[in-house]
Chains A and B, each alone.
Chain A
Amino acid sequence: QLQLQESGSGLVMPSQTLSLTCAVSGGSISSGGYSWNWIRQPPGKGLEWIGYIYQNGNTYYNPSLKSRVTISVDRSENQFSLRLSSVTAADTAVYYCARAEVMIVPYFHYWGQGTLVTVSS
């Protein structure tokens, strides 16, 4: 059974960079056939897709966040990561990692449990 587990800093200072990692177990990122996604949800609000990466390193980002987002993959550790720069309070959210089948615009079969990131001084 595929499992995704987010980890990273739960508190980030304004203007700094948010960094999260998603560890994948029960399946290999290197096997291909999937995209590895980040999605976020501000407290009490709806869902926003951030972007995804393929196992070959190709990335697609939400245009509204593209200038601040970097998603990378570490196949040796079977994990992928999110970096979001120049954060503000508006970036406070639960961040989820998720897996989707390969398609330009995906939907999401498997989700991690999520991790809350608070942007505050």
Chain B
Amino acid sequence: EIVMTQSPASLSVSPGERATLSCRASQSISSKLAWYQQKPGQSPRLLIYGASTRATGIPDRFSGSGSGTEFTLTISSLQSEDFAVYYCQQYSNWPPGPGFGQGTKVQIK
């Protein structure tokens, strides 16, 4: 089973600053990685798939990079609506199927 590990667990950032979130896979998943944003009381929203492709309607301040086992989500200039929890998800490994990281909470500094 592939284990997805996100770091840091939480991140305090000022509006307008850059945020860099990391996700590591316990074995290679090529580029089969997605990122989601989840705000309190809401369902997750797909941001990135294929490690670096933005989903429809996602602003270009969100960018993803990486392949193999190391991945990064960068938010270039944080807006107030970007404070949320971010999850990575691998879609490479069967069994057991899709697996998520434990999340990174981006908070206002």
Interface residues of A (CB under 8 A from B): 46-49, 51, 60, 62-64, 96, 103-109, 111-114
Interface of A is mostly: loop
> Are A108 and B97 in contact, CB atoms less than 8 angstroms apart?
no
B4 to chain A, nearest CB (A): 9
Note all chain B residues with C-beta closer than 8 A to A47. 44, 87, 89, 100
Shortest 7 CB-CB contacts between residues of A and residues of B? A107-B34, A111-B43, A49-B98, A47-B100, A105-B91, A107-B91, A63-B96
Range of interface residues on B (Cβ < 8 Å): 20 to 34
Q: Which of A49, A63, A107 has the most CB of B within 10 A?
A: A107
> Are A107 and B92 in contact, CB atoms less than 8 angstroms apart?
no
> Are B103 and A46 in contact, CB atoms less than 8 angstroms apart?
yes
